[in-house]
Structure formats: structure tokens, C-alpha cells
Amino acid sequence: RSAPGVNAEGVGTTPGTNRIGNTVNLRDCRINFYIAYPKTTDGALIIPYTGTMCRVLLVDNLKDHTSLVASDVLQTPTYPMTSTYKNTVASGKRYKVLMDKKFTLTSEKPDKAFSWKMKLPKSGRVVHYNGSIDTNPSDLNVSLIYIATDIAPLSPNQPVMKYHVKSSFEDA
């Protein structure tokens, strides 16, 4: 997310006013992930003796700038750990899976940290915005899909995901 202007970084969910035109050249994009079971302030698991399988997908929507969900990408979303990808999405969208990471969290190993780097050509990837007020690119929309099995949606034991995105770009 980037807004036109020259005031540098944004705060929280506010886009940074750091692009001059409606085109930027993305030079580098990295994401550091940390996923863990909820813990007390002393570092003990809130609910011990549990385990779950997790799947994290990064999917680029090649058709438009809307987000994708698990049912758009996975053939059988009710079995997300073993499901293959759909050949086509019902709404006519095309997509490219950039990352598909599966792992298990247990009481013995309650955290998982990993990194991802977007593959870009040496010259970078030119990214366009539809207009001067747009903060999201029109031709780059990466959706993050995070699934944890056998845990109810309102359970206090849902694994928490934290991630940090670092991108480098220049005005094109």
C-alpha cells in the first residue's frame, strides 16, 4: 500500500505517502512470519497438550485487484491440508501461487518462524496504480490465506500469526 506524496512512511494501516506517480518499480519484497500458540505472560501455553496442522498460502490474483480466499484456490476447502489447487476459479479469476507452506504446531514445538522472498527479475517488477488516490496497486494483489485445522473459529487456542512485510521500490 502506497499513496501519492513525499512524506515517507505510513503508520499502522495507513499507507505511506511515498510514491510520486501512478507507477513504481518493485525491487524487493520479503515477509517474515511468526506463528505460535497463545501463551501466558510467563511463556506457558494457555492450553497445553494440543496440536494442529497449519497451511499458509500467498496467492497473486492475476485478473483484478480483489482478494482471493481459500475456496477460490483450493479444490476441496473442507480438507485444506491435502487439497490440490483449482484449475480455474468460478468467477473467471486467474491466480498464481507464490508460496504454500505446511507445518505442525504441537505442545513441544508451539512456534514456527519462516521467511519468504518474492522472486523478481533483476530489473524489478513495474507495478501500476489506477489513479492518484489509489493506495493499492491495480496489477499486484497478493492474498494471504492462513488455515489451522481442528480448532474452532472462536477457540482461545487459535495459533496467532504475526508477519512483517518489507518492500523496496522506486518510482518508475
* pLDDT tens sequence across 3-50: 676 666 666 666 666 777 788 888 999 999 999 999 999 989 988 888
Q: Minimal CA–CA distance to 162: which of 54, 56, 36, 46?
A: 36
Question: How many of the other CB atoms lie within 10 Å of CB of 94?
Answer: 11
Q: Minimal CA–CA distance to 121: which of 35, 19, 25, 2?
A: 25
Q: What is the mean pLDDT of residues 90-114?
A: 91
Q: Compute the distance between CA of residue 100 and CA of residue 144 in angstroms, rounded to an integer.
A: 10
Task: State the chain's mean pLDDT as an integer.
Answer: 87
Give residue for cell 504446531.
105
Asked whether the predicted pLDDT for residue 71 surpasses 70, the reply is: yes
Eight-class DSSP state of 39: B
Strands 2-4 and 16-19: parallel
Look at 43-52, 56-65, 107-116, 148-157 and tell me which has the smallest mean pLDDT. 148-157
pTM reported for the whole predicted model: 0.84
Query: In which element (H, E) is residue 169 found?
Result: strand 160-171
Question: How many of the other CB atoms lie within 10 Å of CB of 6?
Answer: 8
Q: Compute the distance between CA of residue 81 and CA of residue 51 in angstroms, rounded to an integer.
A: 14
- pLDDT computed for residue 89 by the predictor: 77
Q: Compute the distance between CA of residue 103 and CA of residue 112 in angstroms, rounded to an integer.
A: 8
